[in-house]
Amino acid sequence: MKHLVVLTGAGISAESGISTFRGNNGLWENYDVRQVAYIDSWYTNKALMLDFYNRRRRQLQQVKPNEAHLILAELERDFKVSIITQNVDNLHEIAGSSTVIHLHGELTKACNESKTEVIDIGFNDITLGDKASDGSQLRPFIVWFGEAVPLMETAERVVRSADILLVVGTSLQVYPAAGLINYTAKPIYVIDPEPLHINHNGVTLIREKASKGMELFKAFLVKGKPLST
């Protein structure tokens, strides 16, 4: 089976009702990214950060995978599919994808402050005073700006072994994740409704929302249909 590697970002979950980070009405337009997504802020205002991620977790409980997540899971019939996601939601897993690498962490998990202990918390809130077994405050299992991205090496290895790289719904503005496209010389397909300017040879842009773009991409991969709408 050919190895299809898929890098996903917030745009793949947009049609499920989860906001993207950048762009019109994106999360970073409505919240101060410095206050809720940087490790420094954790030490100055834990309550605010817990509240932000508790809200994200509660919202996740209300949403479902969309057609794009579902098609990616279906493609496992014909391809070896590895998903590398920057998303902290669990919609790929709920859709049925079996190999999902969460580069930026997972909302349904918590960890101790040194990130050596990770526990499943489902959709429960984390509150100030909830302690890990080492006595530190439990925190969201999220990779904040200023922290290492421990799964990068794994992700680089996976991209190197791709026969095809598909990128769905990411602005490719956040490194090191955005640099992953440089680990392959194979064809790259990008699904995004916006005209992304990607400095890389061999990129085909499918200018559609994720669900429509995935339908076109599946018909192209499985039935050899043209990629145009």
Catalytic residues: 104
Residue span binding ligand OAD (CB under 6 A) among the ranges 4-12, 44-52, 156-164, 219-227: 4-12
Query: Among 4, 16, 3, which residue's Cα sits nearest to residue 167?
Result: 4
Query: Among 112, 144, 150, which residue's Cα sits nearest to residue 130?
Result: 112
Helix (H) or strand (E) holding 47: helix 46-61
Residue 171 interacting with ligand OAD (CB under 6 A): yes
Residue 174 interacting with ligand OAD (CB under 6 A): yes
Minimum distance from residue 133 beta carbon to ligand OAD (Å)? 26
**Size of residue set near ligand OAD by CB under 6 A:** 26
Minimum distance from residue 88 beta carbon to ligand OAD (Å)? 7
Query: What's the rounded Cα separation, in Å, for the pair 180 and 12?
Result: 18
Residue 20 interacting with ligand OAD (CB under 6 A): yes
Distances (CA, A) of 25 to 21, 22, 95: 8, 8, 26
Query: What's the rounded Cα separation, in Å, for the pair 135 and 131?
Result: 5
Residue 14 interacting with ligand OAD (CB under 6 A): yes
CB nearer ligand OAD, residue 20 or residue 108: 20
Residue span binding ligand OAD (CB under 6 A) among the ranges 13-21, 46-54, 91-99, 107-115: 13-21
Query: What's the rounded Cα separation, in Å, for the pair 155 and 145?
Result: 18
Query: What's the rounded Cα separation, in Å, for the pair 104 and 87?
Result: 7
Distances (CA, A) of 172 to 15, 21, 204: 19, 12, 15
Query: What's the rounded Cα separation, in Å, for the pair 166 and 210?
Result: 11
Residue 179 interacting with ligand OAD (CB under 6 A): no
Indicate the residue whose CB is closest to ligand OAD: 11
Among 6, 9, 83, 138, binds ligand OAD (CB under 6 A): 9
Distances (CA, A) of 75 to 26, 58, 133, 200, 211: 30, 29, 41, 26, 14
Among 16, 41, 82, 170, binds ligand OAD (CB under 6 A): 170
Among 6, 7, 21, 189, binds ligand OAD (CB under 6 A): 21
CB nearer ligand OAD, residue 82 or residue 209: 209
Residue 124 interacting with ligand OAD (CB under 6 A): no
**Which residues are at the interface with ligand OAD (CB under 6 A)?**
9-11, 14-15, 20-23, 26, 37, 86, 104, 143, 145, 169-171, 173-174, 191-194, 209-210
